[in-house]
Structure 1
Amino acid sequence: MCASAERLDIRVKTTTISNQGGWEANTSFKSAYLLRERDLVSGPMLYVDVDAVFHVSPLKYLAGLDCDIAVYYDLGDGHLVSATLFLQDTKAVRHLLAEWNQQCVAHPEIWDQKVLQSIIAADQASARPRYKVFHLPVGFCWIFDREDNLRAPKQQVYIEQLQAARVVHENLRTSGKLFSIRKSKVQRRMDRIREIEDILFRHSSDGSL
């Protein structure tokens, strides 16, 4: 993530988070982290998972948005994906992050993005929504081998998510199995990472992702 941001002159801040004890607990900590960062950082704030890759700077696009929060919803089943979040510096965002964190603490067994999706859905269904929400296009949460993404009308890819979660889920799925005939999602991810690293670290700065 940092190398791809640097080549586009995007300033980033990375934070190392200690293991919270499990996958759900680790992801649920995102709400607490963003709540804290929202108070520390002035102005608009873009969050991406650490395994993301910037293809094109999204800053100009995001600067034109009129919203409190911008988030991507999966093209397949419509679930919210918290791997890319754009947060304005507003009271509404602080309230949303506080509510998200409160519910994540109360329900650590529930995936953080499911909690956030539920909060936003309830708010948007109310008579007077508190939060102004913008739905980001798929180019802000691009997954290179997702069929739904590939079938979508061609558009600019700003951020690619490399889904480190695949390793966790694949290990659970294949535990005790000797082999798999079909090329796994994890292997496809590793191949894609090698392609990107070849551009970022071996080729000249003229290389294109």
Structure 2
Amino acid sequence: MLTIFGFNTNDKLYRKHANILALSAKRFDIDVFFEEISKDDWQKIIAFKPTFIAKMRKKLTGKILFIDADAIILEDIRPYFDTITEDIAVHYINGNRLISATIFINDTENAKLLLAEWEKRQLQQPDRWDQIVLQEVLDEWESEGKIQLKKLPPNFTFIFDTSKNTYGNNIKPMIKHFQASRDMRWIEKYKLRKGIYKWLMKNSSLLRSTRKIIARHNAVNQCTKQLGIDVQFSLDDLI
């Protein structure tokens, strides 16, 4: 049995995304285990992601799948993941660069040891991006025969706008990621605006940054509508 797990911060943007992800999983009868944490705690805790994933591997039994909160499941993914026998599976963009938005972890001792090593190295290098550290550990351990790695196809880590540019139009997304961090950057800029400039940032179709955020929201809303999920995004969710 496959269990999806992850975390979201306690702001309304990521809380809403996590709700969409959970509702999409339930459409396909997939178990979901998500934790909500304080945004302040998340920013303060060194190596939060590898520590959280290692903790959940010990807590949950069976095959588990970490998914970033700002994603949606569009198809029944269980038949694919049920067949994986390797310790861990993750997508490498063009076969070269690991992206940690979707991580499959089998219930094996080698997987647990790898996660412990990822956490250890991340604590030693707190300023490095956690997925770069994970790739270094994975590539090293696979070459030494200490871990069995499966490289996921892009269907399971499909970024809503850039993956088409990378792989063309023949890839059918199974798990689509929406990169909500873009909204967070927009919010920070919005907070700095005053008076009419704040109104213009929210309402002007001439601003490239605002158009891109609206396009992101439209992509989310199209997917929720496709699945019959009654949740929609708008700029009002951000301010």
TM-score range, shorter chain: 0.7 to 0.9
Give the corresponding residue for 2:28. 8
Any idea what SS the aligned residue of 1:50 has?
Answer: coil
Inter-partner Cα distance in structure 1 for 2:110 and 2:161: 35
Match of 1:17 in 2: 37
Alpha carbons 1:139, 1:159 under 8 Å: kept: yes
1:65 & 1:113 partners in 2: Cα distance? 21
Q: Normalization by structure 2: what TM-score? A: 0.72
- Indicate conservation of the 8 Å contact 1:70/1:85, yes or no: yes
Amino acid at match of 1:98: A
For these two proteins, the number of residue pairs brought into alignment is 199
What does 1:162-181 correspond to in 2, within 5 Å? 162-169=178-185, 181=207
Aligned with 1:37 (options 56, 80, 87): 56
Q: Is contact 1:141–1:160 with CA below 8 Å preserved after alignment?
A: yes
CA shift at 1:22, angstroms? Answer: 6.7
Cα separation, partners in 2 of 1:196 and 1:30, compared to 1, 3 Å: same
The residue number in structure 1 matching 2:141 is 123
Q: Give the conservation status (yes or no) of the 8 Å contact 2:50–2:115.
A: yes
Q: Answer 1 or 2: higher relative contact order, Cα 8 Å, separation at least 6.
A: 1
Matches within 5 A, 1:100-179: 100-125=118-143, 128-146=144-162, 148-149=164-165, 151-152=167-168, 154-169=170-185
Counterpart CA distance in 1 for 2:66 and 2:229 is 24
> How large is the RMSD of aligned CA atoms in angstroms?
2.8
* Letter in structure 1 aligned against 2:116: A
Structure number with the higher helix fraction is 2
Ranges in structure 1 where 5+ consecutive residues have no aligned partner: 204-209
Q: TM-score, normalised by structure 1?
A: 0.81
Higher normalized strand content (fraction of residues): 2
Q: Which amino acid aligns with 1:129?
A: G
**In 1: Cα distance, 2:46 partner to 2:182 partner:** 14
Q: Tell me: CA distance 1:186–1:111, structure 2 relative to 1, closer, same or farther (3 Å).
A: farther
Q: Residue 18 of structure 1: CA displacement?
A: 2.4
Q: Identity across aligned pairs (percent)?
A: 28
Q: Which residue of 1 aligns with 2:5?
A: none
Cross-structure match for 1:61: 80
Counterpart for residue 186 of structure 1:
213
Name the amino acid aligned to 1:188. A
The alpha-carbon distance between structure 1 residues 189 and 78, as it changes in their structure 2 partners (threshold 3 A), is farther
